[in-house]
Structure 1
Amino acid sequence: MTISHDMDPMNEMVLRLTDLEIKASFMEDLVDHLNQIVVRQQQQIDRLSREVALLRQQAPDSGGGGFRSLRDELPPHY
């Protein structure tokens, strides 16, 4: 918005205040939207962390995590 120099100072202040209120409203909406995204991402992180923990519990104990040959990993049809 451009403010004319011949405008009444009171009207100029009202316009500037209105501009600031509009910007604050948009910022509030943006913050709310970003907060929702952060909440969803945290829920996803929590779910993935639980899944990793379950997979670690289900993984066979390979005797200390030593090297395993890739041939041991091949499906039977190879």
Structure 2
Amino acid sequence: MQVLEEKIAHLIRVTEDLSEVVARQETEIAMLTRRVQMLMEREAEREAGTAGQVFLGDERPPHW
């Protein structure tokens, strides 16, 4: 009987620990989702503000 009580106590502790981990991950995922959304909005605004200009990352500056 004592062995079963020990196993149940262990399982309860593990379940509570996992629940805390999941709760932290949920909070972190929500924060990261908000950040990604903000970055996407900034990029959309930046693209809209360039008015059709094309920027090439490997393009040499005009003085070359």
With normalisation by structure 1, the TM-score equals: 0.69
In 2, the alpha carbon distance for the partners of 1:66 and 1:20 equals 57
Does residue 57 (structure 1) correspond to residue 48 (structure 2)? The answer is yes
* Larger helix fraction of residues: 2
In 2, the alpha carbon distance for the partners of 1:29 and 1:21 equals 12
Over alpha carbons, which structure has the higher Rg?
1
What is aligned with 1:37? 28
Shift in Å at residue 71 of structure 1? 1.6
Long gaps (5+) in structure 1: 1-9, 73-78
Could you say what the CA RMSD is over the residues aligned between the two structures, in angstroms?
2.0
Q: Which of structure 1's runs of 4+ aligned residues deviate more than 3 A?
A: 65-69
Structure 1 residues 30 and 56, CA, compared in 2 at 3 Å: closer, same or farther? same
- Give the number of aligned pairs: 61
Letter matched to residue 36 of structure 1: T
Does residue 16 (structure 1) correspond to residue 7 (structure 2)? The answer is yes
Report 1 or 2 for greater relative contact order, CA contacts < 8 Å, sequence distance ≥ 6. Answer: 1
Long gaps (5+) in structure 2: none
What is aligned with 2:38? 47
